[in-house]
Chain A
Amino acid sequence: MKVLLRSLLVPALALAVAAAGPAFASKDVVFAVASTFTTTDPYDANDTLSQAMAKSFYEGLYGFDKDMKMIPVLAEGYEVSKDGLVYTIKLKKGIKFQDGTDFKADAVKVNLDRVTNPDNHLKRYGLYNNNIAKVEVVDDYTARITLKTPFSPFIAQLAHPSTVMISPTALKQWGNKDIAFHPVGTGPFKFVEWKQPDYLKVAKFDGYWKKGYPKVDTITWKPVVDNNSRAALMQTGEAHFTYPVSYELADVLKAKPDLELVAAPSIVLRYLSMNTQKKPFDNPKVRQAIAYAINKEALAKVAFAGYATPAQGVAPQGVEYAVKIGEWPYDLAKAKQLMKEAGYPDGFETELWSAYNHSTAAKVTQFIQQQLQQIGIKTKITLLEAGQRVEKVESWQDPATAPVRLYYVGWSTSTGEADWALRPLLDGESWPPKLFNTAYYKNEKFDADIKNAQLATDSKKKAELYKDAQETAYKDAPWAPLVVEKLLSAHSKKLTGVYVIPDASFNFTEIDLK
């Protein structure tokens, strides 16, 4: 009898273990990213990567899907008053924070009050333009936000990855600074640990409000600075997803049968700004000549290995209300003609600066230098590193003495809409050091269009105003718009549901591992 039992026991155990096997296999995903995170607090981060990582444990009232379309997340819907000042937001019910607190309207008030309070010194203070007058809790699931002046892109600000709902209980417990070391949100994963600078680990939150999600157990975010090392991690299978992939390695990874290379569309626009307040760039013919002289298709091939498309306007496709005006054609003869008409048949000498000092920027500036030489413009290239960039361009106090002339730089708007894609770069009020109008461009019609669009509540009217603004700026040519980059990422074929979205952040709500 004993022998019989024993001989049955082993196979029975084996069967039990085998049956339990698949259920216990943990789905652990590793993301290899390019730099360390600055903080887990999206209200205090201005780098896209930290904000993307924070989506593991935080969500906002609104958000973006994988195609960068705005969708409600924690909000049910909103209503705006006729004068455009009062937004009433209805919240979804039955959502809990990772510490068990219920998500109610008080969370909206606590979070918005925190970032708009200058005493908290949060880096995202300026995102709301000092425009929120007050936030009120109407009832448990309704919040009312009153603005000082109407601002139609307001909901886009609520969709920005910085605007998340942090648990009020956690904020009270940890305070303004330490909340960054103990994040508590409503997101699909809860924070486990951050071993600086090695990795940041998050694990599945069982009480997540979307049933059945998330579909994986843990995500480990690993910052690996060197491009080749990141690619090596993908090849050995130590990481399942990586962004960005450098162009030189794209073909290596594409050739691997168990990896997939993805070139996603982006709203990252690269352009050459020209200081319109200084001779000879105050002459529109000179600026147009420069725009005609650069072959954008060739630029995409040379500097971006083909992973870029020529720019079609001053705001890239994918940004709400962006219009496709058309690629500025490459016409060397016309460029020479315009230079002659402007009074510079033999060209002139000037400075060409780049906002970045990586190898792609080096290639771009050398290419532009060569192209401009064909119409007689001799340029001296300087690649600025971050500190120099801030000192010589961004923080330069007096526009009259600003040294910047030709400047290679890029921009992408994380609110996905036209106001933030155009205003900081081209509005007359946005000259450095206030914002980023490095062309020192000022056009009354453009400024008026932007201002009226902010006040407009009718979306057709907004579209018209933004169209006019973009066409005005395009014709004046304070820039030579260059290319719109494609975002190159790679993932293991076993991994699904992870996307790089057009503003270079990530969307991984549908993440799953086979």
Chain B
Amino acid sequence: MLQYLLKRLLGLIPTLALVGLLVFMFVHLLPGDPARLAAGPDATPQTVELVRQDLGLDKSLPEQFVRFASGVVRGDFGRSLRTKRPVATEIAERFAPTFWLTVWSMAWSVAIGMTIGVFSAVWRNRWPDRVGMALAVSGISFPAFALGMLLMQIFSVQLGWLPTVGADTWRHYILPSLTLGAAVAAIMARFTRSSFVDILHEDYVRTARAKGLPESRVIVKHGLRNALIPVVTMMGLQFGFLLGGSIVVEVVFNWPGMGRLLVDAVDMRDYPVIQGLVLLFSLEFVLINLAVDVLYAVINPTIRYR
């Protein structure tokens, strides 16, 4: 297993190198001159040239790429074209809020989603199933933007129980994680249900019942573990997406996270920040996939890796 892990981690490097090259090319293909954008409509061509030199954009593309690549190897991701601060600092400041929001959203959405999914599967086609799936459909269809605004109107403005914007105290995490988690919980519920429904037809479940085990034991100990594999895959994907920072929730709750950073950076063609963020997201996805694969082996001991 350890060998397997090491092999996978080594495979990270060529993957990231390729991603780095692709994102560099893509970002420079976007229309719009960052120097002109940074200098503003008021600026004379001379000023734009000065800004261009300042940002290092007057060098040829291959030269800029070499600068970028050699910087990355040393851990220097350059400076933001907008704020002139190191990209690493900009991203680091935003990482923790996004990470913790993701963790909390996943925590409660997985707990609630899986519970609803299990209940729906066990009592399938009866009322708990109908209620559960109705909730799931509305969770997926209700736009996160509207949900966030609605929760803010009710709980912050009308009732005054919770704060509106920002990420300062634990109370600030409640509404955003509810909003973010709603769609994830809904997806979890459906996945768990369908995976579970399959499992409940299997022979070993029948055997467990025949052995006289209480139903709850049958479901939790024997059924759940086997149903988890597709669910864990979906969890990994969701975690990866959320870790990219849900821009909608970040806008509504003014969350100081990476989603807003990315959108602002794309808007102003802030190349170093865009490149840094995309590399980070790629790294996150690769690591999450690795974690999910390891989890498979934990859940199902028959899976062995070489």
Contacts and interface: CB of A to CB of B under 8 A. Distances in A.
Nearest to A118: B50
Contacts of B40: 46-47, 123
B31 A196 contact: no
A223 B254 CA distance: 8
B47 A123 contact: yes
Contact of B39 (A36, A46, A198): A46
Interface of B: 30-33, 36-48, 50-51, 53-54, 82-85, 90, 93, 149, 152-153, 156-157, 160, 163-167, 251-254, 256, 260-261, 264, 267-269
B256 A198 contact: yes
Nearest to B264: A36
Nearest to A180: B84
B36 A197 contact: no
A388 B31 contact: yes
Contacts, number: 122
Contact of A395 (B33, B85, B93): B33
A394 interface: yes
Interface string A32-52: 000010110000001100000
A236 B36 contact: no
Interface string A171-202: 00000010010000000000000001110000
Interface string A380-415: 000001111111101100000000000000000000
Residue from B38, B160, B165 whose CB has the most chain A CB atoms within 10 Å: B165
B32 A388 contact: yes
B38 to A, nearest CB: 7
Contact of A232 (B30, B36, B153): B153
A41 to B, nearest CB: 10
Contacts of A39: 83-84
Interface string A107-141: 00000000000100111111101100000000000
A229 B84 contact: no
B51 A391 contact: no
Contact of B90 (A196, A232, A395): A196
A394 B41 contact: yes
A235 interface: yes
A229 B252 contact: yes
Contact of A390 (B36, B44, B251): B36
Interface string A402-438: 0000000000000000000000100000000111100
Contacts of B160: 236
B293 to A, nearest CB: 36
Contacts of B90: 196
B43 A46 contact: yes
A123 B152 contact: no
Contacts of A436: 41
7 contacts: A46-B42, A123-B39, A177-B84, A229-B165, A229-B253, A232-B165, A387-B30
A424 B40 CA distance: 13
A52 B63 CA distance: 38
A434 B39 CA distance: 13
A424 B30 contact: no
B193 to A, nearest CB: 35
A47 B38 CA distance: 10
B151 to A, nearest CB: 11
Contacts of A222: 165, 254
Contact of A236 (B45, B51, B164): B164
